[in-house]
Structures are given as structure tokens and as C-alpha cells.
Amino acid sequence: MTLPSNHYGQNNFGAVDGYAYAAQLSTRVSARLLRDAQGLRLVDQAGETLCTGAPSERERISGGPCLMTFGTAWTFDTDDIQGVELLLGPSDDDWLSSLEVWHPRLFAVVAGCLIGVLIIWKWGLDILVAGAIALTPTGFVSTIDTGNLAAMDRFLTAPTELSQSDQDMVRDIFAAIKDHAPYAPYGDYTLEFRKADVIGPNAFALPGGTVVVTDALVNDFNDPNIIAGILGHELAHVSERHSLRQLYRSLSVYVLIAMMAGDVGPILEDVLLEGSALASLAYSRDHEASADVIGIKTSHAAGYDPAALAEFFEQLTEDYGESGPEWMSTHPSNAERIETIKKLAAEQ
Amino acid sequence: MDTSETFQVQFKGNAQTYFGIWIVNLLLTIVTFGIYSAWAKVRTKKYFAQNTSIDGRRFDYHATGKQILIGRLIVGGGYIAMNVLFSIAPIVGGALFVAFMFAVPYLINRSIAFNARMTSFSGIRFGFTGSYWRAVLVYFVYPFLSLLTLYLTMPFVSRAQHRYYVSRHRYGTAQFAFDSKVGPFYKAFLLAVAWVVGISVVGIVVVAAMIFGSPAVMLDLLSAEADGNDLGIGHIIGMGLFSVLILIAILPAGYIYQAYLRNAVYAGASVAGGHSFTSVVKPAKLLWIALSNAAIVVVTIGLMHPWARVRMARYMAASTYITVEGSMDGIVGEEQEKVSALGDAFTDFEGIDVDFAL
Ligand SMILES: [Zn+2]
């Protein structure tokens, strides 16, 4: 708020003391900005005029000095903020400075920050992710599949060593599941076999619809019902665009936090980063749970026994154990998944 | 005539005024989805620079929000493009990443130059002339070579880095110089290492004796963990011990190192005209301020961050002196050169810190 007295003070006679510096010279000149019968001007201690007229620029950060520029020739700084306001009137960006003043109003600003973060967290990120997904061209997603498959073949996987009959069996299941799976957003679902001992009995889906099944999975779990359940789960990841969502979400979160990094300070930044890492794990667990639900519906519709998937996880727990505390994991705990699967399978 | 006079650096900021600036910055950053952060950064830097003075002469910061935003958009866009490329074609992305590594020394130089150029003191701007190959040498080759000596030569590397950083700076047309024996750098290094080793040995013996009766049991527990059999309780105890170890061994060592290093660097630096610097940071005091700051910030869920930052700035300023030979008057500025905010945004984003702390 600007007091009326500040306004009518604008053309008052008066003076403020400070230091002046000529352009490109460190020499400090004790000076005074003065308005008298001869007008507004900057004078040095001896009374010599350094320059005349109003400053071309004037700047002040709350709690700091007032800095003025007189064309390209002089700068002038002073701590006498009151004096400057009386001499020159309030400055242009006063609204910002007055918002920053120590005042109970700042409680509202703090609350605004918390609410803002909450809104971004709850809806803003989803809107960003949805927007990015809408803008993603189909061809781009298929390229992700080919690119990643090429990279994995180079560093992680080897050609399959499965027998032709095993492959045919899985292909038949895949065809049946595909017919009952939700719509494939980025072109038809395709099946690949790879030998990848480091990841054990496993299957994963690339965002464009390529599903990779490891040899170990087919060898260790040669049960059509289990394979159908797993394929149903993987196709659900594709139709729900889970990997794209995770990619876009983690990118947006990182960029948002990096933008704010300088402002929140190093400790809060670490808290934010750790917190968002944990939250993205929870996000991933939600995706797994939802893929389980959709996958069970799909394999049931295709004529397989969805409860078989529970056996798979029971066997997995027996062979490999639980993989650490759930909150540190990208997947829900096996125990929890077994329970959900049994419940859902019973409902079908 | 030889008159020299010593001035203490003054910091006049206070927690109340900075709190207002900080929280308003944060609010505007949030409601603009991060875009305002560029202006927020400028406002914060201006606040700290303008409230820092030597003998009544102020520092100032001159970058504009727009400059910072453009730099950030380029770097943020590059970061996203790189990530997207990694997910489409990991092999091409990897190759491009290697190519990008070659640009890092250039970006580091741009960053230092930008910050120097945008900072002024007593009306005159600073400047920095980088060299691509010197930067490669001091920031990449030397640290790698010192790795081969098990980091025993790290103080030499640190001295080389600070020589590069300091002596390539200018104040107006007055060149900075850096001349220091390696002894003070070894002192900082060895005291920090001694602290870590001493505390770790004492800590491990004490904790093991307390919890497990004998050290042998703990080794057993640790190897059981590695087998991945029962991660539960062993894991949690391990994590707890690890954070305590970090808190009392590594963190204090970091501040011991930082304090002695800063004192060594300031003692070695000078500006043409014979002006020299003194830093008298005390490790115990620095550690106390840093730890109590961290504790208070955490307890107040971040709200005391401005207070903590002002407190640290005040201590750092009060621990810094400049001895002026003759007068600080009469130093001439140099022609404006164009600098882009690109490098600045890069180091901002990647958290690389090439500053020595003031
Ligand atoms: Zn899954």
C-alpha cells in the first residue's frame, strides 16, 4: 500500500546521502541526491554536480539498499529508503516488495505454497503426463521398442534356446490372450523369446507392445495357465501405457525439483528428491497391482485359470524369497499379490 | 607511499527480510510451474550480493531472470531430449552422451565466466578467462591421475583447481593471482582423513561391542546380508549404523576439509595492486553452524531455511578479511563482453559446484 504522503512528497525538496560510482571505475564518491530550486541532481561533497535529472533505473530488494542508475554515466546507492521514497515516490515493483514484508500475511503465503505443492502433486503431474502422452506420436513409441530390444540384445540377452514345441505353445497362448486383451494403443502386440539368465524366470513388456519372455520362465513354469496369467499382466502394462507414464512422470518431477532447487535449499531438496523417489515406487506398485487386475480378467476371458498366477508367485517366493521391504520396491510384495490374485480369481 | 588497511567483510542481511523474499519466491515459482524460479534466483542472488559489503562498497548481481530462464530452457530441453533418446535408442543415446561429455569442460568455463561477469563490486564487474584444455586437465585428468595414487595426491589436484579458478579471474582490469605452497592443502586433507579414520575405528569397535558382544558377530551379520537371506532386521540395523557413521565421521570431516581449504585458498589469492585476503573459518564453529542449521531446518520442515542461510552467510562474511594496499579506488572496468547463461544453467541443473565457498 502506498501512503498518500509518499505521493505528494514526490516533488518535495530534500536530499539523500549515499555513494556514487562513475561508469567503469571503482572509485567511491560520497554523494547526495538532491532536489532544490535548481531541480533534481546528483552532487558530490564539494557541491559539484555529477549529473542532473531523475535516475533512469531504480532497484531495491526488500531489506537491501536502493540502487539507482543515471544513464550510462553514474550509479548511486543509499540505505536511506524513506528518503528516496519521499524524493522520488514509490517504485514500480512495489507490490512485490510489499508482499515480501515481514507481516502475518506471510502465513497465507506459506499456506499457499503448501496448497500449491499439493495441487501439483495430486493433479498437476497427472495433467502434464496426460498431455505428454497425448502429444506422443505412435511411431515414436514403436521406435522405443526396436531401440531397446537392440540394446538388450547387445548387452543383456541372447537368442532363445527353447524348443520349437515350447515356442509354439507360448505363441498359441499369446494369440488367445491377445484376442481378449484391451486395445493396443501403439500397434499390434508382438511376442519375442530371449535367453537372459541374469533376470531369471521373467517377462516384460516394452511400451509399444513387444512382450519379451525369458527361456527360464518357459522352462521353470511350463503351465499354460501361469503363462497366460503373466502375458495378460504384461499386455495390461502396454494398454495402460504404464512405462510411458512412469518415464514422463519422473522427468517432470525431476525438472520441477531442479527448477526449485536454488530456492528450497539443499536439505529440503534432498527430502523432495528422496520423497519423490519413494512416491514413484508407490506409483509403480499401483501400476503392477492394476496390471494384475486387468491381466486376470484377460486370462479368464481367454479361457485360462487365473488362480494359477498365485501359484507362480508362491513358487517364486519359495525359490527367491521376498525381495526386501515393500516400500523400497517397484513391485507389491508377493504375499500381497497372491492374496489379491486369489480373491480376484474367485470373483471371476 | 605504503599504507595498507584491513577490512572485514560485512553481511547485513537478516532472517526476517530474507524469509519474505524466499517464501514469495517459492509461491510464485509454484504457481508458475517453475518458470518464475529464474527470477527467484536473481532476486535471491541480488539480496545476498547487495547486502555484502567491504568498507561500505557493495557487491551486486546483474543477471536478468530472462537470461537465466533461456539458459534453463535450453538445458532442461537438452536433458529431456537426452532422456527420451535414451529410451528410444539407448545405443545412439549412449554415444551422444559420450560426445556431450566433451562439452562439459566448455560448459564449466562458461558457467564460471557467467557468474563472474554478472557479479560486481564497487561498481566494477568481475571477469574470467577459461581455457578448454586447462579445464580438462584440472577437473578431469588430474583427479583421474590422483585416483591412481589412491587419492594421496588429491591436495595437489585441489591446489591446481583453485589456481585455475582464482588466477583466471579478474576484477575489472586487475588480474587475480594465486600462489600457495601445497602444505596447507595437505593439512586440510590429512586432518579430514584422520577424523574419518579415527572416528570410524572407534565407532565400529564401540558399536560392535555394545550391540553384538564381539566384532566377529557383526561380520557374520554383514555377510548374511550379502547372501540376501534375511534382509529385514539386519538391513535396518545396517542402514541405521551407516547414517550414524555418516553423521559423526564423514560430515564433520567434510566441514574440517572445507574450513581449512577455504582458509588456504584465501591466503593464496591476491589481486593486482597487492590486495590480499584472509579467511579465518574455524572448523568446529563451521560444523556447529552447519549441523544446528540442518537440524533446525528439518525440525521446522524447511521454514527456518532463510534463517539458517543468513546465519551461515553472516559467519562466512565475518570470517573474511581483505587487506587493501593503498586504496580500492581507481580500478578500471573493462569493456562488456557477451556471456550466455547456458553454462550457468548447466551447472545449476547438474549440481556441479565450481565455486569456492564465500
Ligand atoms: Zn508388471
CA of A233 to the centre of ligand 1 (A): 6
Indicate the CATH number for domain A5-94: 2.30.29
Minimum CA–CA partner of B291 in chain A: A267
CA of B235 to the centre of ligand 1 (A): 26
Are B353 and B254 in contact, with CB atoms under 8 Å apart? no
> Which burial class, exposed, middle or buried, applies to B135 when counting CB atoms under 10 A from its CB (0-12, 13-18, 19+)?
buried
Minimum CA–CA partner of B81 in chain A: A251
What residues are paired with B124 via a beta bridge? Answer: B121
Nearest of B122, B127, B353, B346 to residue B258 by alpha carbon: B353
Helices (H), strands (E): how many in chain B?
15, 10
CB contact under 8 A, A144 and B87: yes
Q: What is the pLDDT of residue A326?
A: 66
- What are the distances in angstroms from CA A165 to CA A172, A200, A204, B91, B315? 11, 21, 22, 34, 76
Closest-CA distance, B28 to chain A, in angstroms, reads: 9
Which of A21, A25, A26 to substitute to test the interface with B, most B CBs within 10 Å?
A26
Are A131 and B71 in contact, with CB atoms under 8 Å apart? no
Q: Hey, what's the cell of B337?
A: 563482453
State whether residue A37 is helix, strand or coil: coil
Nearest of B285, B284, B309 to residue B297 by alpha carbon: B309
CB contact under 8 A, B87 and A148: yes
In residues, how long is chain B? 358
Nearest of B69, B139, B76 to residue B102 by alpha carbon: B139
CA of A134 to the centre of ligand 1 (A): 23
CA of B81 to the centre of ligand 1 (A): 26
Whether residue A111 lies within 8 A of chain B, CB to CB, comes out as no
Among A24, A101, A263, select the one facing B37 at the smallest CB separation: A263
- What are the distances in angstroms from CA B184 to CA B109, B168, B261, B354? 26, 21, 8, 20
- For residue A66, the surrounding DSSP H or E stretch is strand A66-70
Please report the ipTM that was assigned to this predicted complex: 0.78
State percent of chain B over pLDDT 90: 40
Whether residue A21 lies within 8 A of chain B, CB to CB, comes out as yes
DSSP B278-328: EE---HHHHHHHHHHHHHHHHHTTTTTHHHHHHHHHHHHHHTEEEEEES-S
The pLDDT tens digits along chain A (348 residues) read: 344 444 444 567 888 999 999 988 889 999 999 888 888 889 998 888 898 888 888 888 888 899 999 888 899 999 988 888 888 887 776 788 888 888 898 999 999 988 998 898 888 888 989 998 998 888 888 888 888 888 888 888 899 999 999 999 999 999 999 999 898 888 889 999 999 888 888 888 998 899 999 998 899 888 999 999 999 999 999 999 998 898 888 888 887 777 766 666 677 777 778 888 888 888 889 999 999 999 999 999 999 998 888 888 888 888 877 665 666 778 888 888 888 888 888 887
Read off the pLDDT of residues B198-230 as tens digits, 9 standing for 90 and up: 888 887 777 666 665 544 444 444 444 434 344
Q: What is the pLDDT of residue A277?
A: 84
